[in-house]
Structure 1
Amino acid sequence: MAGDLTDQEWDRLAVLLPSMLPQRGGRWRDHRQVINGILWRTENGAKWHQVPDRYGPWKTCYHRFSQWEQDGTWARIERRLQVDADATGELDWRAQVDSTIVRAHQNAAGARKRG
């Protein structure tokens, strides 16, 4: 499907994910399918229950996302991908900070009204 992980992207991620061996409670749903569902939700700004059925039950996507956030899987993936991108020169460490200030009307800021 459009927007899903390519085979090359999947190959980079697969080695960083928890084992697919049966866990307490049974087999895991395919990691690639679930990650594609998580990415779909993130890219579309949708709510979890709006994840299309082709990615499996939305609750599975949500629970896997949450579990991997808690156990550090996402942080480990981010670190590894950053290291790989930096090593190949794909990561630009130069940053720009914009200090733009947007002023609100005094009434919008809760100021006292006259009269």
Structure 2
Amino acid sequence: MFRYRTGCAWRDLPVEFGPWQTVWKRHHRFSLDGTWDRILTALQARADAAGELDWTVSVDSSISRVHQHGATAARAPDRAGDGTTRPEGRAG
């Protein structure tokens, strides 16, 4: 969790966590076998039962823009007749 909170690279973990390779292997194994999902579910259940969890969700309406090189991609003419265009060389 330290890594996600700080945003550091695996190799920059403090020495008290042990070798970074060991920490990464354990994290990866827990991710694949569902251990982290079970821990999260158990913690949420306990917090919800104790009334310590607020299930209010805030949704951000940010706008995402296409990468600058994708914005000027060539488009094929409307061959489908449905008003859409497709990138060159792509079938519809």
Bigger Rg over Cα: 2
- What is the TM-score with the length of structure 2 in the denominator? 0.66
What is the CA-CA distance between 1:83 and the residue it aligns to?
0.4
Cα RMSD (Å): 2.1
**CA distance 1:103–1:62, shift in 2 (3 Å):** closer
Q: 2:51 aligns with which of 89, 94, 110?
A: 89
Q: Which residue is equivalent to 1:54?
A: 16
Q: 2:28 aligns with which of 42, 46, 66?
A: 66
Task: Work out the percentage of aligned pairs sharing the same amino acid.
Answer: 42
> What secondary structure does 2:51 align onto?
coil
**CA distance 1:70–1:103, shift in 2 (3 Å):** closer
User: 5+ unaligned residues in a row in structure 2: which ranges?
Assistant: 74-92
- What is the TM-score with the length of structure 1 in the denominator? 0.54
Matched, 1:41 2:10: no
1:20-66 superposed Cα distances (whole Å, 9 cap, x missing partner): xxxxxxxxxxxxxxxxxxx2212111111111211110011100000
1:80-109 superposed Cα distances (whole Å, 9 cap, x missing partner): 0010011011111121212243668xxx46
Q: How many matched pairs?
A: 72
Q: Which residue is equivalent to 1:36?
A: none
Within 1, Cα distance between the matches of 2:43 and 2:35?
A: 12
